[in-house]
């Protein structure tokens, strides 16, 4: 696979220009996740707006994949209802487990479809999933999701 | 006749073609010590080294990806073989390490608690507590618990044996009582051949809130074992007795227990975060696998499991059952031979210990060896069991898939020869 | 030019002929994680399985004799390689186990003493005691000591680093004082490449009566090491980084210390006598080798040692020194590249860590991998060292006997490509 | 090698009819040695007669080789001076390490020469040496020999 197919311009763009980066003033749930093999870090926060829409805060350090993934996460779930967000999260996780054969739905995953090439590199899948796992964890900690709903990802 | 075609199987084991002691064909009856390895296992290891060798879980390049995938595929395969998820299987170097890992959970937790680290109280031992084993344990499932007791003040108890080599469970409920925090028993004795009712014992352990451990070294290689059905929290066994390479052992644990246990070997690859002052640990199984793992051995073991699955473990068990019946009959028929352990095939495996009146087991073994027959002599790392039966040692045969009745016939003839040579009644 | 003929050596390593990532020739620069294995090592293991496989030290038949002889011959060979007797060499599964074995001597002795078992007081730790490591330890030589402290109340201290990646020994005599009972330091850092003056540190350890331990994982595979000259009581390293199989590690100990240490893993083969209530233990090295050992891996390691001895360790070191000089020069010449660790060849080995400004190491590694170059990225199991240098991770090359300057040239080109791809100044 | 060459008649004879077996009433030094792999045991005692000659007591259980070796030991060293006994012990140890190529001197080793075949079987060498190691140990314990003289056998 070419480098260009892995590092699609969308990824590089989110990496260099992260959307909505920063922490929340009043988070409901916060999860700090680390990739122990490479040291990538994401601190992810959730809160709920008056209309039930999700508010996302995040910070982190790490490789382009992990940090771009956090930015894409923000773009995709900020303002969504918890159940909508959960569908998006599941779609992203599924894409990462597709071994590169996934056909992601842009209507659901938006810029997330740019991560299709990552699924071919087992060591990088963890990078891409890092913010999404932290997201799920933050939702559980914030009482927005039951632990038993967790799929272990 | 079972579905096991010994002649075909033998063709897969290069070592069985060799001769020993001046040209005698090798008759290998020592598989309880370690099994031989089929060419598929040797090929799998070699291919791994020749194409994908790298440190698993420690790199992002293609070789490291392949090595990690191969290592984890083997974990899943071993898990499937005993009916559990990959994440419940820990790779160790041998069954002894697996059992020590279990035992150290208790001594480590006790020491950690003493200095303020919060631990799961199930693992904390005090002088009032007891640890229960049986009188037929392999040293690997006895000495680690003696050491735990010496390090915590807890006391060791054991389930005694009947004269016919079975566990005497008459006092089960007294021996395993509310003081008991861990019960560790062997599934199939390596010296007596006895298969123990471990599910019943584990149920009693759980009834008093104790952790249950099973040593399945001699059962999993020889019969279909659904480790969950054993009812234990932890189950230990080795790879080298089930056609796998040397240098690899296994520990199954329930997710719940693995999470509750403190780590054992610490270092790289088992961590979540590390600072100079303190570290946090990864989830199991990584939590228990410090350092660069035995990747090639895991791959070889995966091939061994595939080989056994191809034969079918029910077929393997049936074959051994048949051979056990034949061996028991043949050995009982020799005057002066006494079997140490159950003399019927009910709840017993194919390892059979015996003594020959008037000839020390070492001398029996020597005569057998001279005739090309490899057996084990001595206390078989179950010295207290020998004492229980009033013998200093025994001679033990332990057949496997590559043995047949002709091997037993040769054995019988060799025993007669030993009796003749040492001029004892036969 | 040194006496190392890289082209000829490469021919002995089957894996180096493969391609990765759509046909790119493999350039393996990750030998500090694990080395590749020459065909001699693969052949030795296979021949063992095909002709002599049996449980070493556990039988009296011919195969068991041969297996025992092969296992012990390898021990003697490894001992000879580092200048010591066979009986001072213990086989473990990896260097992490070796270091844990050393660390557990302290926590075990402390717990045993508490309940009345007499122990050598050198191993007994109390809250007033300290354990000293350095800030450049691999997790394998850090976390076991953190755990020892957590289990005994002792406290951990460490020798700090200078900005150029050397040990700062200014406070040596304060950090290692009369409270200190063990000092464990890395000989050559796996992340910085620094070679430490361990003999000086060990001398200080002994001056205060502390036990001295050296982690020689990254030195023994790369240069002639007379372990006795290190002045340590215990020296740990692994087999898989010195051309040997996975699943085997080493621990050297002085006879005196091995006798004084309590056992670690317990079970079969490490005993003198066993009763249900108590056991006594064999002398070292058996005392520390419970269970059926990794015989095939020991045999493979023996072949690896033979291979290195044939090349000559002085030649190996000279070759790496030359390559290190070349690599340091080449990497320093790339704008935006910063070397983490010593930038001169004095007292440094061939493992070189660096960061590329504006590109995360993981992304650097990805570009290199895509071009067929296998390096390691991350914290290299030395996370605190990364923090010390203010980087979350590094990219590390670690060449060995099968690498030459062309591999470094390819690396330089690939780094330039990464800078171009990620549009950072170059 | 034939069984007959290993188990020479002399060995079988000593095994079936052990010489001087039994314990001393007033031992100077006693050593109980075990072969951990097979459980063979020898309890060996030494004392010195008025003329300085050694008195040997022993008991044991185990294979023919270990027990015959104890009997031969008795025959060879009973009544000897410590230094004479030490020469015999060294000759026996050397024979055991000859890998079967030894040419034992009957004048020194007497019936001990029958053990030449044992040296071909590494697992049995330990059996043959068991009483001799216990002997050395008993001498040290009894103050008849210095520990530093020990050759570690
Ligand atoms: C019942 C039993 N438990 C434990 C062990 C120890 O296994 P290993 O030698 O693989 O550590 C063995 C075999 O030696 C055994 O038969
Ligand atoms: C300096 C150092 N110490 C310890 C280790 C741990 O070695 P192993 O993985 O063989 O346990 C390594 C390598 O991983 C190392 O480089």
Mutate which of B30, B96, B98, B297 for ligand 1 pocket (most atoms within 8 A of beta carbon): B96
* Three-state DSSP state, B114: helix
Q: How far is B258 from chain A (nearest CA, A)?
A: 16
Cβ contacts below 8 Å, chain A against chain C, sum to: 49
**Residue-level pLDDT at D147:** 73
Distance from the CA of B41 to the center of ligand 2, in angstroms? 27
B22 touching D (Cβ < 8 Å) = yes
Interface contact flag, C272 D124, Cβ < 8 Å: no
CA D44/CA D76 separation, integer angstroms: 14
A6 touching C (Cβ < 8 Å) = yes
Phi, psi of D145 (to 5 degrees): -145, 145
Contact partners, residue C368, CB within 8 Å, separation at least 6? B61, C374, C375, C395, C411, C414, C415, C418
CA C363/CA A38 separation, integer angstroms: 11
Q: Which residues of B are catalytic?
A: 381
Interface contact flag, C377 A41, Cβ < 8 Å: no
**Residue-level pLDDT at C59:** 77
**Contact call for residues D121 and D6 (beta carbons, < 8 A):** yes
Q: Which residues of D touch B421 (CB under 8 A)?
A: 3, 7
B386 touching D (Cβ < 8 Å) = yes
**Residue-level pLDDT at D8:** 94
For the Cβ of B141 lying below 6 angstroms from any atom of ligand 1, the answer is yes
A123 touching B (Cβ < 8 Å) = yes
Helix (H) or strand (E) holding A45: strand A41-48
Q: How far is D66 from chain B (nearest CA, A)?
A: 10
Interface contact flag, A36 B59, Cβ < 8 Å: no
Nearest ligand to the CA atom of C398: 2
**Do the bridges between strand A41-48 and strand B394-397 make them parallel or antiparallel, or are there none, so unpaired?**
unpaired
- Is the previous residue joined to D39 through a cis bond, with omega within 30 degrees of 0? no
User: Would you say residue D148 has pLDDT above 70?
Assistant: no
Distance from the CA of C246 to the center of ligand 2, in angstroms? 12
Neighbours of chain A (3+ CB pairs under 8 A): B, C
- Predicted confidence (pLDDT) per residue in B117-167, tens digit: 999 999 999 999 999 999 999 999 999 999 999 999 999 999 999 999 999
Structure tokens at B143: 């000495």
Interface contact flag, C392 A65, Cβ < 8 Å: no
Q: Which residues of A touch B60 (CB under 8 A)?
A: 38, 121, 123-124
| In chain B, % of residues over pLDDT 90 | 97
For the Cβ of C144 lying below 6 angstroms from any atom of ligand 2, the answer is no
User: Would you say residue D96 has pLDDT above 70?
Assistant: yes
**Residue-level pLDDT at A152:** 41
Q: What is the DSSP string of C84-142?
A: S-GGGEEEESSHHHHHHHHHHHHHHHHHHHHTT----GGG---TT-EEEEETT--GGGT
**Residue-level pLDDT at A86:** 96
Q: Which residues of C touch B387 (CB under 8 A)?
A: 275
Residue nearest to atom 7 of ligand 2 (CA): C95
pLDDT tier at A153 (50, 70, 90 boundaries)? very low
- Report the b/e string of B9-30 with b at 16+ CB within 10 A: bbebbbbbeeebeeeeebbbbb
CA C406/CA C395 separation, integer angstroms: 19
User: Would you say residue D152 has pLDDT above 50?
Assistant: no
Residue listed under structure tokens 């070492």: B362
**Contact call for residues B183 and B208 (beta carbons, < 8 A):** no
Distance from the CA of A7 to the center of ligand 2, in angstroms? 32
| ipTM of the prediction greater than 0.85, yes or no | yes
For the Cβ of C180 lying below 6 angstroms from any atom of ligand 2, the answer is no
- Predicted confidence (pLDDT) per residue in B337-363, tens digit: 999 999 999 999 999 999 999 999 999
CA distances C109 to B380, C272, C278, Å, are 29, 20, 17
Q: Which residues of B touch C147 (CB under 8 A)?
A: 108, 263, 266
Which ligand 1 atom sits nearest the alpha carbon of residue C55?
9
User: Would you say residue D145 has pLDDT above 90?
Assistant: no
Interface contact flag, C54 B62, Cβ < 8 Å: no
B362 → closest Cβ in D2, D3, D127:
D127
- Is the previous residue joined to B285 through a cis bond, with omega within 30 degrees of 0? yes
For the Cβ of C188 lying below 6 angstroms from any atom of ligand 2, the answer is no
Q: How far is A62 from chain C (nearest CA, A)?
A: 7
For the Cβ of B292 lying below 6 angstroms from any atom of ligand 2, the answer is yes
Mutation target to probe the A interface, by most A beta carbons within 10 A, among B55, B59, B60 is: B60
Q: Which residues of C touch B295 (CB under 8 A)?
A: 246
Domain D3-141 has CATH 3.90.1150.10: no
**Residue-level pLDDT at C253:** 98
For residues B325-337, give the mean pLDDT.
Answer: 97
**Residue-level pLDDT at B426:** 58
Helix C405-421 vs helix C361-370: angle between axes, to the nearest 10 degrees?
120
- Measure the CA dihedral C301/C304/C309/C311, to 10°: -170
For residues D63-83, give the mean pLDDT.
Answer: 96
**Residue-level pLDDT at B312:** 98
User: Would you say residue D149 has pLDDT above 50?
Assistant: no
Interface contact flag, A63 C22, Cβ < 8 Å: no
Cβ contacts below 8 Å, chain B against chain C, sum to: 351
Structure tokens at C344: 């001169």
Interface contact flag, A7 C362, Cβ < 8 Å: no
Distance from the CA of C328 to the center of ligand 2, in angstroms? 23
| In chain B, % of residues over pLDDT 70 | 99
**Residue-level pLDDT at C60:** 80
**Contact call for residues B373 and B388 (beta carbons, < 8 A):** no
Distance from the CA of B217 to the center of ligand 1, in angstroms? 6
**Contact call for residues C202 and C152 (beta carbons, < 8 A):** no
Distance from the CA of C252 to the center of ligand 2, in angstroms? 15
Domains of chain C are 6-30+312-425 (3.90.1150.10), 45-308 (3.40.640.10)
| Touch between B and C (at least 3 CB pairs under 8 Å) | yes
Tell me the pLDDT of chain C (426 aa) as tens digits: 578 999 999 999 999 999 999 999 999 999 999 999 999 999 999 999 999 999 988 778 999 999 999 999 999 999 999 999 999 999 999 999 999 999 999 999 999 999 999 999 999 999 999 999 999 999 999 999 999 999 999 999 999 999 999 999 999 999 999 999 999 999 999 999 999 999 999 999 999 999 999 999 999 999 999 999 999 999 999 999 999 999 999 999 999 999 999 999 999 999 999 999 999 999 999 999 999 999 999 999 999 999 999 999 999 999 999 999 999 999 999 999 999 999 999 999 999 999 999 999 999 999 999 999 999 999 999 999 999 999 989 999 999 999 999 999 999 999 999 999 999 965
* Sign, CA torsion B255/B261/B262/B265: negative
Distance from the CA of B166 to the center of ligand 1, in angstroms? 19
**Residue-level pLDDT at A149:** 47
Mutation target to probe the D interface, by most D beta carbons within 10 A, among C52, C54, C60 is: C60
Mutate which of B236, B381, B383, B385 for ligand 1 pocket (most atoms within 8 A of beta carbon): B381
C139 → closest Cβ in B50, B135, B268:
B268
Q: How far is D1 from chain B (nearest CA, A)?
A: 7
C397 touching A (Cβ < 8 Å) = no
Q: How far is B274 from chain A (nearest CA, A)?
A: 9
Structure tokens at C266: 């317990």
**Residue-level pLDDT at D99:** 84
Arithmetic mean of pLDDT over chain A? 91
CA A93/CA A105 separation, integer angstroms: 13
Q: How far is A64 from chain C (nearest CA, A)?
A: 7
pLDDT tier at A36 (50, 70, 90 boundaries)? confident
For the Cβ of C59 lying below 6 angstroms from any atom of ligand 1, the answer is no
For residues D110-128, give the mean pLDDT.
Answer: 92
**Contact call for residues C264 and C288 (beta carbons, < 8 A):** yes
Distance from the CA of B266 to the center of ligand 1, in angstroms? 24
């Amino acid at each position: 696979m070419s480098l260009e197919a892995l590092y699609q311009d969308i990824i590089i763009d989110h990496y260099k220009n992260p959307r909505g980066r920063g922490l929340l003033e009043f988070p409901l749930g916060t999860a700090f996740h680390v990739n122990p093999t490479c040291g990538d870090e994401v601190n992810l926060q959730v809160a709920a707006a008056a209309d039930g829409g999700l508010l996302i805060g995040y910070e982190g350090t790490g490789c382009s994949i992990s940090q771009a993934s956090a930015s894409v996460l923000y773009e995709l779930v900020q303002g969504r209802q918890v159940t909508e967000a959960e569908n998006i999260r599941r779609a992203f996780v599924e894409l990462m487990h597709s071994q590169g054969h996934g056909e992601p739905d842009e209507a659901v995953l938006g810029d997330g479809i740019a991560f299709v090439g990552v699924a071919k590199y087992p060591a990088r899948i963890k990078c891409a999933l890092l913010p999404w796992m932290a997201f799920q964890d933050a939702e559980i900690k914030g009482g927005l999701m039951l632990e038993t709903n967790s799929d272990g990802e | 006749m079972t579905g096991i075609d010994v002649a075909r199987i033998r063709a897969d084991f290069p070592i069985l073609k060799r001769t020993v002691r001046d040209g005698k064909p090798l008759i290998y009856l020592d598989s309880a010590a370690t099994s031989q390895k089929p060419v598929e296992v040797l090929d799998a290891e070699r291919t791994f080294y020749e194409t994908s060798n790298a440190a698993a879980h420690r790199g992002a390049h293609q070789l490291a990806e392949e090595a990690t995938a191969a290592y984890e595929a083997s974990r899943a395969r071993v898990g499937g073989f005993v009916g559990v998820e990959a994440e419940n299987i820990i790779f160790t170097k041998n069954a002894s390490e697996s059992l020590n890992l279990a035992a150290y959970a208790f001594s480590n937790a006790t020491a950690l608690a003493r200095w303020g680290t919060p631990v799961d109280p199930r693992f904390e031992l005090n002088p009032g507590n007891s640890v229960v084993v049986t009188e037929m344990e392999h040293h690997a499932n006895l000495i680690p618990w003696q050491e735990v007791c010496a390090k915590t003040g807890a006391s060791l108890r054991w389930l005694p044996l009947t004269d016919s080599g079975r566990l005497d469970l008459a006092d089960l409920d007294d021996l395993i009582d509310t003081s008991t925090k861990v019960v560790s028993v062997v599934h199939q004795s390596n010296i007596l051949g006895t298969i123990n009712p471990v599910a019943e014992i584990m149920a009693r352990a759980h009834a008093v809130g104790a952790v249950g451990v099973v040593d399945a070294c001699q059962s999993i290689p020889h019969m279909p074992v659904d480790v969950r059905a054993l009812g234990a929290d932890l189950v230990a066994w080795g790879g080298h007795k089930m056609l796998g390479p040397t240098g690899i052992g296994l520990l199954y644990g329930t997710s719940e227990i693995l999470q509750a246990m403190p780590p054992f070997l610490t270092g790289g690859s088992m961590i979540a975060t590390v600072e100079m002052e303190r570290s946090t640990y990864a989830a199991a199984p990584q939590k228990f696998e410090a350092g660069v793992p035995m990747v090639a051995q895991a791959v070889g073991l995966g091939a061994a499991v595939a080989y056994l699955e191809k034969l079918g473990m029910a077929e393997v068990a049936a074959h051994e059952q048949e051979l056990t019946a034949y061996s028991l009959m043949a050995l009982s028929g020799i005057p002066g031979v006494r079997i140490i352990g159950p003399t019927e095939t009910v709840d017993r495996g194919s390892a059979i210990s015996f003594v020959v009146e008037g000839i020390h087991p070492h001398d029996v073994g020597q005569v057998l060896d001279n005739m090309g027959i490899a057996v084990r002599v001595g206390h078989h790392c179950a010295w207290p069991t020998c004492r229980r039966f009033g013998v200093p040692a025994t001679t033990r045969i332990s057949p496997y898939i590559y043995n047949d009745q002709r091997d037993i016939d040769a054995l019988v003839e060799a025993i007669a020869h030993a009796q003749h040579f040492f001029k004892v009644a036969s």
